[in-house]
Chain A
Amino acid sequence: MKILVADDEPVTRTTLVAMLKKWHYEVVAANDGDAAWAELQRPDAPALAIVDWNMPGLNGDEICRRARAELGQRPLHIILLTAKSALEDKVSGLSAGADDFLTKPFNSAELRARLRVGERVVSLQKELQDRVIQLEEALAKVKELQGLLPICACCKKIRDVKGYWTQLEVYLSHHSKAEFTHTYCKECADKFLRELKLDR
């Protein structure tokens, strides 16, 4: 999984990057808040981010606030890096949109455990998002069936949204799971038989 590490302080950043790589994460590093925000705005941006609270450029809480306001529903789990004592930072970080915290100096076992939490949240979010997309597609098809369908009074063909006339059974099988088996109703069978006899 891809992960963003944003910290201006080189010792912490290098340590984080080295450990994450060792754990087989694909790491993107940023030296300040502005570079971190630029990384998060890319279309292939990481869904996990470890962001330092105090950085030149954008601060960690500002990055959280912007991410929640501007990046929409895209899954993004943000872990804020803070000093051990800063309780008020944690409170305002959570209100700004952070998902979790890691205190400096970080402990590797704790870091790994928090990353697993993050991965779990991100994969659940992705699953939910895929499910929502599937449901929206299904709903769109149902809506097409429920709407006012233009039907030819004579041959019973249906005009679709693109303006093409298609046979009723073709239209229905495209917009639902219905399948058709062709047969004759009693009325048509009698009529057909009568015509056959007349022909003779």
Chain B
Amino acid sequence: MNPAADSNRPPVIDRATLLEELGGDEDLLKEIAGLFLETGPGQLQGVRDAAAAGDALALSRHAHTLKGALAQLHAETAAAAARDVEEPARQGQAATAVAAVPKLETEVAAVQRELEALLKGA
């Protein structure tokens, strides 16, 4: 454990900025949190399937959609992980894109945990 490195890591979701962007609307925050918990897994599965098929075009599309949702949730680390899949996929570098998928899965899982906690009122 290295607490200094831990505190340097940006939060999974920048909740304060997100809430501010939503005009302080807690209900809307919960609505979009629930929405991502519903739709995010499907988008991630799309990324996995495209990676398994080696389909760079589908991979860039699914990673792009996921990136948009994560960026809107102010989940910056996860959005960057999605971009690291999307960019090489769009340039046809399927192998590089596929290699970046596990990191994206880890980050999306962290976002999901954070959103679940948020919905429980934590």
Partner-B contacts on A (CB < 8 A): 7-12, 14-15, 18-19, 22, 52, 54, 83-84, 104-108
Contacts and interface: CB of A to CB of B under 8 A. Distances in A.
16 contacts: A7-B68, A10-B38, A11-B68, A11-B69, A14-B31, A14-B32, A14-B35, A15-B22, A15-B28, A18-B22, A18-B25, A22-B23, A22-B25, A54-B64, A105-B71, A108-B21
A14 B38 CA distance: 13
Contacts of B61: 54
Contact of B69 (A9, A22, A83, A108): A9
A84 B61 CA distance: 17
Interface string B43-64: 0000000000000000001001
Interface of B: 21-23, 25, 28, 31-32, 35-36, 38-39, 61, 64-65, 67-69, 71-74
B35 A11 contact: yes
B12 to A, nearest CB: 15
Contacts of A18: 22, 25, 28, 31
A23 to B, nearest CB: 9
User: Which of B32, B38, B72, B74 neighbours the largest number of chain A CB atoms within 10 Å of its CB?
Assistant: B72
Nearest to B23: A108
Given A11-B36, A104-B68, 5 more contacts: A11-B39, A12-B72, A18-B28, A19-B23, A84-B71
A106 to B, nearest CB: 8
Contacts of B21: 105-108
A11 to B, nearest CB: 4
B68 A12 contact: yes
Q: Which 3 residue pairs are nearest across A and B when measured between Cβ atoms?
A: A11-B69, A9-B68, A105-B71
Contacts of B22: 15, 18-19, 108
Contacts of B73: 11, 105
A125 to B, nearest CB: 29
User: Which of A8, A9, A54, A104 neighbours the largest number of chain B CB atoms within 10 Å of its CB?
Assistant: A9
A85 B25 CA distance: 28
A97 to B, nearest CB: 23
A4 to B, nearest CB: 18
